[in-house]
Structure 1
């Protein structure tokens, strides 16, 4: 009798696992087959209470509803992404500004950033670093500068590789005290792309999430 009881328990566990893994292809007909098998293999001296079968049906129904809701949410997300893509396509050819200090060097364009010191600066120095953190360009700017454009030319005269570059700004006031500086990456939008979870704008050699967008203007 112990063996029969063990078979019943294993069958019940299989039933619940299959229901929980509905996303892998289990459907209602398979559930009913497993439920029938469970009833046929239960211990005749210790049969399962009817309420337990009812509970399993309720659990399966809840899993099935959850799967349907997930499908609906995915469909809604897909539609929203399509709408975001359609709206973002209007940015192509326009200049966008992003809330980060990264800009991109493309095949034909350099990188650009806006610079906004917290207060009037007496000296400003900028450093451009590549993806590996190596400084590839440095320059002392006019303290009144609010935008820095880098054409991608390195110190040796070569052109920088396409990709993302980060701008670091050091600014001081008339007393030599450091000043906080806000830096935004700037560039003309070349294309729009989505990975299914969000929309990104292509600028030079960089793809920037729409969430970082702070301003759009004519190129």
Structure 2
């Protein structure tokens, strides 16, 4: 995604630069300047050469801008085709939000290093903690567990969007290095944006959020 965003920003910058003064406008100004110069005091040849060089640079900017736009369009099409290939596959998504529905939701987390304790905190739309799910695997890597959608008292939570936060401790101190994960199956793709949005029962996610992809459920 970073590469596509970089191409997009570069293309936009060049478009802004060349649209302010097109090459035809630049050439017209140059010809007008030559037509109206004082025959007894002509322009400095060095300055004229520099102006011609600027015109050449402007033409090159137009060519580069056109190539970048073609590259951006091609990469966007490739990304959308890749998103379509995800339909029916199971994905692990790095996300801080999950949509709770009728079916059990499979949550998880990844750790960059071993810890002494790890918890996945679930908050509702009012930022209230409704469940604290303790992880049993404390080693580095991805770990998943089933959640039946109940709160801390075992009562079913209402369907809707919930926030996820990973909290981990090592040696009695809070540590960073990890993130919540949601494992779900892709049911569709929204191609209206630059990068395809994957539609799942647990919410909609961008391709950039994918942590793993598998052909069958695990």
> Displacement of 1:84 after TM fit?
2.1
- State how far apart, in whole Å, the 1-side matches of 2:39 and 2:124 are: 73
Change (3 A) 1:179 1:37: closer
2:87 to 92, 110, 116: 92
> Displacement of 1:216 after TM fit?
1.0
TM-score, normalising length: structure 2: 0.65
1:143 to 125, 136, 148: 136
- State how far apart, in whole Å, the 1-side matches of 2:164 and 2:120 are: 10
- State how far apart, in whole Å, the 1-side matches of 2:37 and 2:125 are: 64
The number of equivalent residue pairs is 190
Unpaired runs of at least 5, structure 2: 1-15
Higher CA-based Rg: 1
CA RMSD of aligned residues (A): 3.8
TM-score, normalising length: structure 1: 0.64
Q: 1:69-99 deviations in whole A, cap 9, x for unaligned?
A: 121122012112211221221111222113x
Change (3 A) 1:157 1:140: closer
> Displacement of 1:43 after TM fit?
4.6
CA contact (8 A) 1:125 1:171 kept: no
- State how far apart, in whole Å, the 1-side matches of 2:39 and 2:21 are: 32
Is 1:63 the counterpart of 2:62 in the alignment?
Answer: no
CA contact (8 A) 1:103 1:111 kept: no
1:127 to 94, 102, 121: 121
- State how far apart, in whole Å, the 1-side matches of 2:32 and 2:132 are: 77
**Correspondence list, 1:54-203, <5 A:** 54-98=49-93, 100-105=94-99, 111-115=105-109, 118-119=113-114, 125-130=119-124, 134-141=127-134, 143=136, 146-150=143-147, 159-162=158-161, 165-170=163-168, 177=172, 182=178, 183-189=180-186, 190-193=188-191, 195-196=193-194, 198-203=195-200
Is 1:33 the counterpart of 2:28 in the alignment?
Answer: yes
Unpaired runs of at least 5, structure 1: 1-19
CA contact (8 A) 2:120 2:135 kept: no
- State how far apart, in whole Å, the 2-side matches of 1:167 and 1:86 are: 32
